[in-house]
Structure 1
Amino acid sequence: MVFRVPATRVVKSLNSQILSIDGPAGSGKTTVTKCLAEKIQGASISSGLVYRVLAFICNEDSELAETIHNVNDFKSAIECLGFKFRNGCTIKNSKNQDITEIFYTKTIDRISSRIAKKKENRLIVSGFLAFFVKESWAKNFDTIIIEGRDIGSVVFPDAKWKIYLDASVEARVLRRNQERDGAGDDISKRDRSDKDRKNSPLVVPSGALIIDSTSLNLKEVIALILEHIHE
């Protein structure tokens, strides 16, 4: 059966378990998501990594990419390649080897940014996130952490907790360059692209707690989020 229903409708009854973390590139969303998930033993996923997987398929296997028209096709393509999401922000191959690094290249950066502008691709990724939420719920996770740029504003606008993680451009450039040499060079350009795109632009979600992590360390950011969750 072809999945055509927006993710927010599919999992509306599960919104009470979702914590969304949105913010611009380099704000620390993925690192915070990983650490927070470990801290509270929650399920987690990076929507950016899902886009990167789609971008990787488009770049490496054009024939397979042409078969992807909806979320079910995308799931089938992932299975065909033997990719498996682990701990939300990690991908392993059929040999259980961590291959996450291959999705973080400048080429994939450019392609994922481009395909994220198209509505049909955003629907595919949103649908994949909906399946992830349902699977996590079935595995009895109390909290499901999802990070991206439109999670609390578009994909799951009724999420119980919403975080908008920000930082100065200078801090974000430095962080990205520490992760990958030269990766922060396009931060300002990416900011403009994310905020000005027609479909699901980057905004502060309604009701979100805004955290400026410019002068905060990871432990301090996690503490602020935990305090917000337990209010």
Structure 2
Amino acid sequence: MSDTDTHKIIVAIDGFSSCGKSTFAKRIAARLGYVFIDTGAMYRAVTLYALEHGAIRSGEVDERQVVALLDRIDISFRFNPARGASDIYVNGTPVEERIRTIEVSECVSRVSAIPEVRRKLVAMQQAAGSARGVVMDGRDIGTVVFPDAELKIFMTADPAVRARRRYDELRAKGDDVSLDEIERNVRSRDRADMSRAVSPLRRADDAIELDNSHMSVDEQMEWFMNEYRRATAAR
């Protein structure tokens, strides 16, 4: 019997920023033939839209203005054959590259802490995963979005390692950033994610921790498939 000859489940991947959750989740989805939903990209898309429409100025988030913009934001995903993954669109416009800038990174934790933003996006995420056969990554998938997910993984890694990964990613895209700036942003986002009033980042009681500080993507996949087989065998 193959890895995918079992009943489809929900794989919920939570954890700190810049742990490689999206890369990990994409590979899992491709291996299992599941749908991948990048919830972090959804919050970044709202943040980008708020930046471009004056709801964030000089790093200050105007929550009322962000909430007022929500009904004007339509978020969708479309498969990009060149990348072998889905790109995110806002109102029909591709924004995959623009949501990854340091400007968006510095504001996304505050935008994602706004209750109305979380309610809107959580409802979208729950609707997308209702049929099972989904891999979803974010900050509160196993605790809020899908507390009944059959397999929950909580990813973590040393902040310095995460900063270096993010730095290499941005430099490869031609962004002029410093490693110190990135590490400060990583640590700041950790504090913001764990201390926010609405859906703070935390490990679900039944989540399995994966510290990938010194693991390759292939090693992570081998670890995952062992956990996946255990989860599906228990059904």
TM-score under structure 2 normalisation? Answer: 0.76
Report 1:9-24 matches (<5 A).
17-24=9-16
| 1:84–1:124 distance in 2 versus 1, CA, 3 Å | closer
Instruction: Give the whole-Å Cα distance in 2 for the aligned partners of 1:130 and 1:108.
Output: 24
Please state how far the C-alpha of 1:98 moved relative to its aligned partner: 5.5
Specify which of 92, 98, 112 is matched with residue 116 of structure 1: 112
Instruction: Give the whole-Å Cα distance in 2 for the aligned partners of 1:86 and 1:103.
Output: 15
* 2:123 counterpart SS class: helix
Instruction: Give the whole-Å Cα distance in 2 for the aligned partners of 1:178 and 1:52.
Output: 20
Instruction: Give the whole-Å Cα distance in 1 for the aligned partners of 2:76 and 2:226.
Output: 32
Partner of 2:216 in structure 1? 217
Instruction: Give the whole-Å Cα distance in 1 for the aligned partners of 2:215 and 2:54.
Output: 43
Please state how far the C-alpha of 1:92 moved relative to its aligned partner: 4.8
| Deviation readout 1:68-123 (Å, 9 max, x if unpaired) | 45xxx36xx32xxxx6313575225788x854101111221123211111111111
Q: Is the 8 A contact 1:19 1:145 kept in 2?
A: yes
| 1:112–1:152 distance in 2 versus 1, CA, 3 Å | same
* 2:129 counterpart SS class: helix
Partner of 1:156 in structure 2? 146
Partner of 1:103 in structure 2? 99
Instruction: Give the whole-Å Cα distance in 1 for the aligned partners of 2:112 and 2:76.
Output: 21
Partner of 2:43 in structure 1? 51
Partner of 1:3 in structure 2? none
1:146 maps to 2:136? yes
Instruction: Give the whole-Å Cα distance in 1 for the aligned partners of 2:153 and 2:146.
Output: 12
1:178 maps to 2:168? yes
Report 1:190-201 matches (<5 A).
190-201=189-200
* 1:22 counterpart SS class: strand
Instruction: Give the whole-Å Cα distance in 1 for the aligned partners of 2:68 and 2:90.
Output: 21
Moved runs in structure 1, 4+ residues, more than 6 A?
Answer: none
* 2:200 counterpart SS class: coil
> Mind listing any 5+ residue stretches in structure 2 that lack a counterpart?
1-7, 56-64, 80-84, 171-176, 231-235
TM-score under structure 1 normalisation? Answer: 0.78
Instruction: Give the whole-Å Cα distance in 2 for the aligned partners of 1:160 and 1:133.
Output: 12
Partner of 1:8 in structure 2? none
> Mind listing any 5+ residue stretches in structure 1 that lack a counterpart?
1-15
Two-structure CA RMSD over aligned residues (Å): 2.4
Q: Quote the sequence identity (%).
A: 26
Instruction: Give the whole-Å Cα distance in 2 for the aligned partners of 1:92 and 1:130.
Output: 19
Kindly indicate which of the two structures has a greater share of residues assigned to strand. 2
Q: Is the 8 A contact 1:49 1:89 kept in 2?
A: no
Instruction: Give the whole-Å Cα distance in 2 for the aligned partners of 1:66 and 1:172.
Output: 31
| Deviation readout 1:133-180 (Å, 9 max, x if unpaired) | 24xx3xxxx620110011101111111110011111121111111111
Please state how far the C-alpha of 1:205 moved relative to its aligned partner: 1.0
Please state how far the C-alpha of 1:185 moved relative to its aligned partner: 3.6
Partner of 1:91 in structure 2? 88
Partner of 1:41 in structure 2? 33
Instruction: Give the whole-Å Cα distance in 2 for the aligned partners of 1:162 and 1:66.
Output: 30
Instruction: Give the whole-Å Cα distance in 2 for the aligned partners of 1:196 and 1:172.
Output: 20
Partner of 1:208 in structure 2? 207
